Amino acid sequence: MKIAMVTTHPIQYQVPWLRLLSAEPGIDLTVFFAMVPDALEQGREFGVAFSWDVPLLDGYRHVVLRNVARRPSLTEFSGCDTPDIIDIIRRGNFDAVIVNGWGTKTVLQALWGCLRNGTPCIFRGEVNGLTPRPWWKRLAHRALLSRYAAILCIGRANRAYCEARGVPAENMFDTPYCVDNSFFSARAEAQRRDPGREAIRRHFGLDPSAPTFLFCGKLVPKKRPQDLIEAVRVLTQNDIVVQALIVGAGPMSQLLTAQAQGLPVRFAGFLNQGDMSRAYAASDALVLPSDAGETWGLVVNEAMACGLAAIVSDRVGCAEDLVDRSTGGIFACGNVAALAGEMQRLAIETTLRETQEAALARVQDYRFDNVVAGCRRALAHVFERARRRR
């Protein structure tokens, strides 16, 4: 099976399953990137130039396309403009093309190339129904989804949205959104052994014994990090001992630092993938207060893989899949009192320990071999349908 994958750039959460899919017997995979960003572009939304400290381009065949965008960018629709992909699909004799999302010109160019050439196009994206949309946009999504030969669903909210837009159940295949669980869990466990949780907490300026709630992500409005700070304020004023560690960078940094004055809240700044294990090892539970712009929230997978409980807002895409009262808590987005209540519940040692164990168990099914298995089922489906048509 000669397969192409088309996406914007090498993404640390995609690379492991691309390597596994490439190694599958009977699959000849080529990945096409619209660009490989430099450190400045990679860190644009963080406000910090950086390159990921894990290898992203080895273990699979890849091609970087010619990007004709006037201003190549990962954050704008026209920032990835690669018209050559249309002719590459025409000449490539691919059995199927997998595209990642539809938010950039490149992946829509790939879909157009498939439609012109009669090549099955398989879609994987984060879209869900948690974001209110006008009727015309829902109608446009229905028309777009009907053009794909199969859908690789990342979770329940994603599947429900596609189903509501008219995608038949037989055209949808589960490929759970995931991270490299073993990568994160092994490193966090090593940090807990040496130098140990107390030493790491002191490194971050934290109380070695207080229940610790972690926020990790870009410091941008959609992630609502200010809600965690206000929840800490509420609990502190009620003489409940908790503390927060905020990892990340972005345009809200100065505002949040000012907001946290006088509170047990510490800021670690941006940490790369290899360094995140220290933050996870130092913490008891993750808090992700985001609005519906958080279409999944892979940081929840990371934290659970490290043995942390998770508290998320009801607008976070992964909430229905990964989080309930057994693995953490869900609160109404923007309701600081409800967030503080969930944090207070988890601050009880026995409750926290049971929740952490359940969270670690829950995330084990969200792994890359299940993504590859879903891909194989989707490929078999589109090939069988093509065979019947012949």
CATH number of 181-365: 3.40.50.2000
Query: Given this model, what pLDDT does residue 43 score?
Result: 67
CATH number of 2-178+367-389: 3.40.50.2000
Phi and psi angles of residue 100, each rounded to the nearest 5 degrees, phi first: -105, 105
Query: Given this model, what pLDDT does residue 51 score?
Result: 73
- How far apart, in Å, do the first and last CA atoms of the chain sit? 17
Residue 206 exposed, middle or buried by CB count within 10 Å (0-12, 13-18, 19+): buried
Domain locations in the chain as residue ranges: 2-178+367-389, 181-365
CA angle 298, 303, 308 (to 5 degrees): 145
Give dist(CA 294, CA 223) in Å, integer. 7
Would you place residue 42 in the very low, low, confident or very high pLDDT band (cuts 50, 70, 90)?
A: confident
Would you place residue 41 in the very low, low, confident or very high pLDDT band (cuts 50, 70, 90)?
A: confident
Query: Given this model, what pLDDT does residue 48 score?
Result: 74
Query: Given this model, what pLDDT does residue 45 score?
Result: 67
pLDDT over 80 (residue 310) = yes
Token pair for residue 322? 């990964």
Query: Given this model, what pLDDT does residue 224 score?
Result: 98
Query: Given this model, what pLDDT does residue 275 score?
Result: 87
Would you place residue 57 in the very low, low, confident or very high pLDDT band (cuts 50, 70, 90)?
A: very high
Evaluate whether 318 touches 155 at the Cβ level (below 8 Å): yes
pLDDT over 90 (residue 298) = yes
181-365 and 2-178+367-389 share a CATH fold: yes
pLDDT digits (tens, 9 = 90+) for 352-390: 999 999 999 999 999 999 999 999 999 999 998 877 776
What is the rounded average pLDDT of the residues 61-88? Answer: 95
pLDDT digits (tens, 9 = 90+) for 130-186: 999 999 999 999 999 999 999 999 999 999 999 999 999 999 999 999 999 999 999
Give dist(CA 341, CA 241) in Å, integer. 13
More confident residue, 276 or 43: 276
